[in-house]
Amino acid sequence: MISEKMEKAFNDQINKELYSEYLYLSMQAYFESLNLKGFVNWFTVQVQEEHAHAIGMFDYLHERGGKVELQAIDKPRTEWKSPLECFENVLEHEQYVTSRINALMDTAEEVKDRAALSFLDWYLKEQVEEEANVGNVLATLKLIGDDKKALLMLDKDLAARTFVQPVIG
C-alpha cells in the first residue's frame, strides 16, 4: 500500500505530465499554423510520450493500491514569436519537469518508499534524454537563425521521428 503523501505526490505529477501533453499539443498546433509538418510530427511524438508518462504513473498508483484523483489541467500557452522561442520554452518546461521528478523522488526518500524510488528511476533517466533531445533541436535552431532553407531542412529531419511505446518502470 502506498502512503497518503506518496499518493498525493503521484497525483500531482500525473497532472504535470498531462499538462505537458496539453502544452505540446498546443505547440503542435502552433507549428501546424506555420505549415512545418516535421515540427508537427516532432510534437505529435512528444504528445504521445507525455501521455505514456502520465499513464505509467496512473497505472503504478493503482498497482500500489492508491487512488488516482485527476485535477484540472491549466491552459497552456498558445503563441510563440518563432520556432526558436517555442523550443526555448520546451527546454524550460522539460527542466521544470525534471525538478518535479526530483521532488517526487525526494518525497519517496522521505517516506522510505523504495518501490517508488525504483519506479521513478526510469523517469529520471527519461528526463535526461528529453532535455538532451530538446537541447539538440534548440542548438540547431540557434545556428539556423533566419535561414529559411536551413529551417526547412531541419523540418524534414524532424519528420523522421517516430513514437516508440516506452516500457516504464
pLDDT tens-place string over residues 112-169: 999 999 999 999 999 999 999 999 999 999 999 999 999 999 999 999 999 999 999 7
Q: Return the residue matching grid coordinates 499539443.
A: 25
The answer for residues whose C-beta is within 8 angstroms of residue 8's C-beta and 6 or more apart is: none
Residue 169 within any structural domain of the chain: no
The CATH number of the domain holding residue 146 is 1.20.1260.10
Report residue 73: phi and psi, to 5°: -100, 125
Residue 83 within any structural domain of the chain: yes
What is the distance between the alpha carbons of residues 86 and 52, in angstroms, rounded to a whole number?
22
Residue 45 binned pLDDT confidence (cut-offs 50, 70, 90) = very high
Task: Give the total residue count for the chain.
Answer: 169
**Domain extent at residue 89:** 4-158
Residue 102 within any structural domain of the chain: yes
Neighbour-count burial of 136, counting CB atoms closer than 10 A to its CB (0-12 exposed, 13-18 middle, 19+ buried)? exposed
Count of structural domains, the chain? 1
